[in-house]
Amino acid sequence: MPGTFELLDHDPSCAARRGRLQTAHGTVETPVFMPVGTQATVKSMSPHEMEELGCEILLGNTYHLNDRPGPDLIERMGGLHQFMGWDRAILTDSGGYQVFSLGSLNKITAEGVSFQSHSDGRNHFIGPRESMEIQRKLGSDIAMVFDECPPYPCDKDYACQAVRRTLDWAAICREAARAEGQLVFGIVQGSVFSDLREECAKALVEMDFDGYAIGGVSVGEPDELILRGVDDTVNHLPAEKPRYLMGVGEMAQMVESVARGVDMFDCVIPTRQARNGTVSTRRGRYPVKAALYKEDTRPLEEGCTCYACRNFTRAYVRHLVNVGEILGLRLITMHNLHCYLDFMKDMRKAIAEERFDVFRRDFHSGYRVVSEEHALNVKENN
């Protein structure tokens, strides 16, 4: 039954938990990383390839899909699943973050936001009713409420006003028409203010959503404030509902957030960095287009079983990237997504086996944002 969330395991060392969320388009095992398909596609990847990677849920973007090609067209095409050829779960964000970060704002009112499109300057209006209607037409499995995401930094008065609007809009979203089987998640705001996050979380829980998201983090603040935002929120959310940390995708951040009881993540990091020639591994990231990989016969990540690593060398992928061949970016994207999805699978296994503390410690001891191997090689070649 869509909306059923079953908690399967808890790790005794912390708040990490393994769960199973039922959606109208299949089961999602948690903790889960959701690759971002902004424009109804994960960039450079086919749905078949995403299925082969074991992906159970993707994220679609309400703001961008409303801008182009438009929700009415997608609805006429049978909904977002049929339009993009994906028969597994889809979560759509509300468009709120993009309205505030991409659109040229004209006016914020109690009803919503008037703004100009980032693509062609057309005037638009999105409020809670409009956002939910767009998501209904898209037919996603999980719709997010329309919220106000304040920037970092902001003063407490602004954050308080954003919480008030977020709660007012959430109440409207809660009662809006939905697609069949569509779940709706509330979003907790409050910026860096603990009391506002607690207030927002408790008010949303009273509205009884299908799940809850931690919003307003990873918007420019340092890592310690990201995790503090998680701490300030997660303890006020019900254990029996899924918890989604929006826009967070650094591996270290995900490990620490899982340890605090978070179930769901999304981020553009693995695909965006792939397009810049950056390879994700369990030990860190490195730029494969660098000269020191010119004759490197190793796979992108030793021990990895993805298609790219089974068949190609760093030297070949570097060559493709440096001459502008699309295959190079596709191979890195395949690998990075495999790395992320496999990472979540291993976290779920560690929680089930009650050894998440060991997994967490081993990860932190071996991971660097820029791999030590690359740094050492650069040093030796300079």
Dig out the tokens for 341 from the structure: 């999805």
- For 112-122, letters b (16+ CB in 10 Å) and e give bbbbebeeeee
Residue that has been written with the tokens 């829980």 in this structure: 205
Bin 259: left if φ > 0, else alpha if -120 < ψ < 50, else beta: alpha
Identify the burial level of 26 via C-beta atoms within 10 angstroms of its C-beta, where 0-12 means exposed, 13-18 middle and 19 or more buried: middle
> What DSSP designation does 269 have?
H
| Cα dihedral sign, 192-194-195-198 | positive
Coil, strand or helix at 103: coil
* Strand-strand pairing, 243-245 and 211-214: parallel
* Strand-strand pairing, 278-281 and 284-287: antiparallel
93 a catalytic residue = yes
| Strand runs labelled E in the chain | 5-10, 17-23, 26-30, 32-35, 57-61, 89-93, 104-108, 113-116, 123-126, 142-144, 183-188, 211-214, 243-245, 264-267, 278-281, 284-287, 368-370
From 11, 67, 93, 210, the catalytic residue: 93
Dist CA 119 CA 131 (whole Å): 19
From 67, 147, 210, 266, the catalytic residue: 266
* Omega before 150 within 30 of 0, i.e. cis: no
Element containing residue 255 per DSSP (H, E): helix 251-259
> What DSSP designation does 105 have?
E
Of 156, 144, 163, residue with least CA distance to 192: 156
Of 319, 274, 275, residue with least CA distance to 294: 319
Q: Which residues are catalytic?
A: 93, 266
